[in-house]
Structure formats: structure tokens, C-alpha cells
A and B are shown apart, each in its own frame.
Chain A
Amino acid sequence: MSFATSFVRRLRRHLVVLAGLLTLGYLLLPNVIVTVFSFNDPKGRFNYEWQGFSADAWRDPCGVSGLCDSLAVSLQIAAWATLGATVLGTMTAFALARYRFRARGAVNSLIFLPMAMPEAVMAASLLTLFLNLGAELGFWTILIAHIMFCLSFVVVAVKARVLSMDPRLEEAARDLYAGPLQTFRRVTLPITAPGIAAGALLAFALSFDDFIITNFTAGSTVTFPMFVWGSAQRGTPVQINVVGTAMFAVAVLFVLAGTAVANRRRKQQA
């Protein structure tokens, strides 16, 4: 009896933890499935049912025609979109965080709206623009669109970092006769770098994974998400899961390494 009541009491105390962990499980279950099914040996065209173990797909990830080409296209677009969005976004963020100017509210709204608009709406309107201008759909139209929707996210990340920076550091640099350029290069940039890096990383992830806007603006160019979408209609090769699993592993390792480096640096400074 007392065991039962103590069990109930303990359960009640940890109910939040239990519910939270269940949600975490819900979030991670698909990744587990993707990983497990990267070792599947499907009999049919689709990779939805477990048939047997095979590491063939891991040995030959480019074995499906078009897959690695589409990966290369996606990486290329993501790299350029990250560069463009990071440069434009950082400049905008500095203007917003450091200066007073007219039409501030309008600028804030213009930066917020792309994040608040359903992708289908942005995609559809961009396509209308490109069609009206007679632009040829492909690499460049995708890149333009990606820079557009990544920009706002970079602004958010960088602006937060610039605002949290102690303004006295720059004042100190100026007091020590550093010129504006030197102050920026030696003080401002190193301190805001983590924010810029976070924005760039986010831009890369958003661009690399984008499907909806790309689908409207790609023409006949095939990015990796578009390859996956196409294969969902025709038949899903196991190699898709291999790429998905590898991406997940690389990203987690990357983040873990980043956290470790940051921790060590903090310890050294302390």
C-alpha cells in the first residue's frame, strides 16, 4: 500500500519529466526510423517496410542516378545563399541595433514578414514576378529566393548578439586611439562573431532543406529536397536514408564539437 502511494507521489512529481521525454521521443522517432531503414534491403521500389539487413546503400551512396548531382546543386546553392544572406543580414542587423533612423517600424515589419508568411504564398508570388519578368527559372532564381527568406533569420540572430554587447568595449577601444575600422575589426567583429556564425549556420540549414519555395522557383533544376520529393512519387531508394542519416550524424557531431570548444574556452577565460 505504502509502496503504491509513494509510487503515485513520485509519478506525480516527475509527470512533467515523463511527458517531456515522451515528446522528445516523438521528435526523434522519425530519425531513428530513417537510420534503421538506411540498412534496409527493400524488395519493391519503396523503402517503407522492413525486409532485411543490408549495408549496400552505405557502400554506394551515389548509386542512384541524379542523387549526388542534386546534393551538389543543393550544397552550392546553400553556400552562396548563406554568404549572401549573412552579408546582407549582418549589415541590416547592425543598422537596426546601432542607429536611429526614419521608418524603423516599417523596416522591422519588412524583415519580420518573410518569417511570418507561409512559404507557399512567398513561393507563388515570386513565381509570378519571375514569370512577369520573363526570367529563366533555375539556379539563379532559386538563389535569389533563398537569400530572400534566409535574410530575416540572420538579422534576428546577429541583432540579438549586437544588442547584448557591452558598448563600453568600443568606447575603450576608441579611447585607446583605435580608428573606427580598427575598432570594428579588432573589437566589434570578434565579439559579434558567434551571432553571425549562428545566423550563417541557420541560413545554410534553411536553404539546404528548403523544398516549398524551391519547388516553385527551380524550373528543371533539381535540388536534393526536390529529388526526395520526386522519389516519393516514383519509388524511394535506400540511399535517401543514407544521406539523411549522414546529415544528422554530421550535424550532431558538429554541434557537440562546437559546444565542447565553447566550454573549454569559457574555462580558460575563467
Chain B
Amino acid sequence: MTALTGAPPSPTPATPPTPAAPGKKPPRARGRLTPYWLLLPGILWLLVFFLMPMVYQASTSVQTGSLEEGYEVTWHFATYWDALSEYWPQFSRSVLYAGSATALCLLLGYPLAYLIAFRAGRWRGLILILVIAPFFTSFLIRTLAWKTILADGGPVVGALNTLHVLDVTSWLGITAGERVLATPLAVVCGLTYNFLPFMILPLYTSLERIDGRLHEAAGDLYASPFTTFRKVTLPLSMPGVVSGTLLTFIPASGDYVNADLLGSTDTRMIGNVIQTQFLRILDYPTAAALSFLLMAAILVMVSLYIRRSGTEDLV
């Protein structure tokens, strides 16, 4: 389960992060090559099947040619420009949808993580299991269930309609008339749902580490519950907020399942474009360029994060 939280620091602050710290000899000191032998298969696998594909993709993106005649590297950087100008709407839509979903995840996930960490008592284990349990049903099946929940004329849409919520959202342009399905709202709703556990788990990990006596101390010093939250809890949970945000935004920005199943042609995200270009239109250079642009954007975000916290906390 800690693994799901991915980016947050390893949950054992008590032990030194570098076990071979000065004064402490690493066990089994014989054979200085041992770590390299241990690393070799795993790292080789990642080099060949993760890093090398990226290089191939970079080279494909500057090739020209056709499926029949084959492709050649011609350093045709115009592909990038063309791809960006043609698919700019999908790019900005991806950022917008993934950003909204991330904000919603934070808003919805924080209370639940707080509840598990401080208020759940003996229910803590059960609630944690319930947060992870949906993972065990195929996410496609669960995403399809949203088609039922948000169905036209269904109870949810009916209630939103009666409360005039749909009037407001339609005016904002995120729903269309009396429909929620096939609108941006449905896609964001699905994205939020699918990536919510990725927000909750790192938040929980960082909240759980907070010493409860700090809350008591703040209360003793006449801080109101809200002030305690703002000045003590929230700042101490920032590592969880940062990693949760990354773990939600990154997969959400490349997702195409929600936009495909719950959206319409007007809600297509960059993932949808990459998928169609690669698997249906077979325009490999454009697809590679788009995928490379998405990767570059993500890498910038990740490296900013690494600069903040160093590489040791990554894995």
C-alpha cells in the first residue's frame, strides 16, 4: 500500500535514509561489485524497455515518410509545430481537465485522509481497505458504471436539474442542457473518481505522521480548530499534498479512457489524439511528437519536484 503512494518519502523516518552512513559498515561488505550485480537485471530492463523506447520515439518524431515507403530521419521539426498548432485545443483541454480533477481530488480527498488519520479510531483499517478495494475491480468497468449514474433522466441528473445546478453549469459551458453525460463535467467527474485514491494515500501517509500532541498544544495555546488546521496540520501535510497532486495530475493529463467513455468528440484530450494517431491513423511522426511534448511537460514538473526534495525520496 505504501507503494501506491509512490512519491512520498519512505514511511520509515526512524531509520537513516542512507544505510551505509559513516560509521556503519554495510552488511556483507565482501565483493564491491555486489550492488551492481543486484541492479543489473532490473536497470537493464528499464533501460531497454523504458529509456530506449523514449529515444526511438524522439527519433521517430523527426522522421518523414509514409507507411508504404518507410520512414527516414530528416530532422523535420515542423512536425512539432504542426502538431502543436493543430492539437492545441486538446492540449489545453488536457491541462484544464486534469487540473480541475486534481483540485477536486484534493478538496474531496483531504477530509477523507484526515478522517482516516485522526478520527477513524478502530475503523481506520476498514476504511483504508475500502479506499483501495475499488482498485481490484477493473477500472474500465467502474468507469462504465458512471454512464449509469449520470444517465440522462436518471436520479442524479434529475436532482441536479431540480436544484438548478445544471442551469449554472450549462451557463459555465461544462454541461449541455439537461445532459451531464458527454460533457466536460462528466469527464472531470470520471477523472476525479479514477485518481482519487492516488491523492488520498499520500495525504494519509503524511497526516498519519503528525504527532497528535501538536494539535493538543495548539489547542492549549487557544488556537481555534480552524487555526490549528491552518497553522499546524496543513503545513505539516504539504509533502503529501505535493506528491498527491503529482500522482493525480500526471496520469490524468495523459488519460484517454474517461474522455472516450464519458465524453464526446468535443471533450477529446491529448491522450485520445495520441491513441488515434498511433493505432488508427498510423501517423507515427505526429503521434510521437505529441507524446514527446506531453512527456516534456511532465518532465519539467517532475524535475521541479526533484529539485525540491532530492532523488532519495522518489523511490
Contact = CB atoms under 8 A, between A and B. Distances in A.
Looking at chain B's contact residues, the main secondary structure is helix
B12 A160 contact: yes
Contacts of B137: 31, 34, 244-245, 247-248, 251
Interface in A138-172: 144-145, 147-148, 151-157, 159-160, 163-164, 167, 170-171
A99 B131 CA distance: 35
Given A99-B35, A156-B3, A240-B141, A118 B254 contact: yes
B163 interface: no
Interface hub of A23, A144, A155, A247 (most chain B Cβ within 10 A): A23
Interface range for A: 35 or more
B56 A163 contact: no
A113 B302 contact: yes
Interface in B284-298: 284, 287-288, 291, 294-295, 298
Contact of A164 (B15, B142, B295): B15
Looking at chain A's contact residues, the main secondary structure is helix
B134 interface: yes
Given A248-B133, A251-B133, A212 B257 contact: yes
Contacts of B30: 180
Interface string A191-202: 000000011001
B149 A33 contact: yes
Given A88-B45, A202-B4, A48 B20 contact: no
B278 A151 contact: no
Give the top 10 A-B pairs by smallest Cβ distance, nearest first.
Answer: A118-B254, A20-B115, A251-B136, A99-B35, A125-B53, A19-B111, A92-B42, A95-B38, A112-B314, A30-B145
Contacts of B200: 23
Contacts of B113: 20
Given A91-B42, A124-B274, A198 B12 contact: no
Contact of B144 (A100, A164, A236): A236
Contacts of B149: 29-30, 33
A19 B113 CA distance: 10
B196 to A, nearest CB: 6
A119 interface: yes
Interface string B163-193: 0000000000000000000000000000001
Given A28-B134, A92-B39, A244-B141, A151 B46 contact: yes
Interface of B: 1-4, 6-7, 10-12, 14-15, 17-20, 24, 26-28, 30, 34-36, 38-39, 41-43, 45-47, 49-54, 56-57, 60, 108-109, 111-116, 119, 125, 127, 129-149, 151, 193, 196-197, 200, 246, 250-251, 253-257, 261, 271, 274-275, 278-279, 284, 287-288, 291, 294-295, 298, 302, 306, 311-312, 314-315
A24 interface: yes
Contacts of A29: 145, 149
Contacts of A152: 46, 315
A58 interface: no
Nearest to B194: A30
A33 B38 contact: no
B18 to A, nearest CB: 7
A180 B45 CA distance: 27
Given A107-B39, A159-B10, A27 B131 contact: yes
Contacts of A224: 138
Interface string A19-58: 1111110111111011001000000000011000000000
A115 B10 CA distance: 15
A30 B185 CA distance: 17
Interface string A101-122: 1001101111111111111111
